[in-house]
Amino acid sequence: KNKKKETVVFSIHEILSGDHRLILNKVYENKLITHREYNNLKSISNANAETHVNELMDKIMNKGEDKCKDFLNLLQTDGAIKETFPLLARLQLSCTPLLSEPVQDVYQINSRPVGLCVIINNKNFKDGSQRRGTDKDARNLAEVFQCLGFRVLMCEDLNKDQMDQALTFVASLADMSHFVDPQQALEHGDAFICSILSHGKRGVALGTDRNPLPIKEITRKFRGCDQSVLTGKPKVFLIQACQGSNIQRGVQMNDMEIDDDTSPLTIPEEADVLVAIATVEDHAAIRDPFDGSWFVQSLCEQLKERCPRGEDIVSILHYVNDDVQMPEVRFTLRKKLVLPPQRT
């Protein structure tokens, strides 16, 4: 099957590269891709024809078997395509070899609950300022990760030392009586999620006292070691905070707010960690005072839509990157992290 797949995919790519613009236009006309996807694919620069075809094919294959069938049907029935690419008639086109991929390692998610999701929501700061809209972000994240089987712990308005203490406790589960009912035992499952909603500077998130807690220190609390039950398990950190004061080119601010507080961002060296930050370094993270931050809005929408399809977290964050200008994702995950919704 793998050999068949390689032959068919290569042949289709080679043939369609003869006029990739025709294929792109036909695919868009038949509503196999969205207007945004069409514009993104059309605007790819510094790439040869085969790269354009590869990107288009990847978009379609990621939409599942039905879209794949529609695409193959288009290749076989459209008059202009048949006339332009007569060699297609010699191929036996099937979705099976196109959709079949080599088996990749996936993190095993079997525990119930799946694991802990800690949300630190800093809204009210000691100087009297507020991060309006952050409560909606916190609620949306809690809803999504509860549906994905996580036990959610919500921590609100923590200063730097309280953030540090809370995360240290969570990492070791040493003493969480300040945050949950002492009668309710906490256990780490097969995955861990930490989301911090706050102001920030380059490489740090701020407590409500505006003192900085480096993101690097946060992730290191959960690094794998012989004593940690999280060793070898995926640990995801979602940070809604500015990394500077620059506004990304093309962003229309209007009534938006930024999560800055006018240090380089580093990827953790430890394995099995993913850090997704709302913006690239030196830039501001945009937040709507009513609807919440752009990053968290998009993230929650994409998780709701794509987790039920079995898509992995890195692939989902690619869609967030495409939708929001412009988060930054860095990871040392060794396998795919797939989080299917849990039945209630």
Q: Which residues does the annotation mark as catalytic?
A: 199, 242
Cβ–Cβ under 8 Å, residues 98 and 172: no
CA distance 2 to 230: 35
CA distance 216 to 171: 14
Tokens of 20: 């990739």
Angle at 83 between CA 77 and CA 86, to 5 degrees: 90
Handedness of CA 194, 200, 201, 205 (dihedral sign): negative
CA distance 299 to 144: 10
CA distance 289 to 265: 26
Cβ–Cβ under 8 Å, residues 120 and 197: yes
CA distance 129 to 208: 9
CA 293, chain centre distance (Å): 15
CA distance 60 to 172: 44
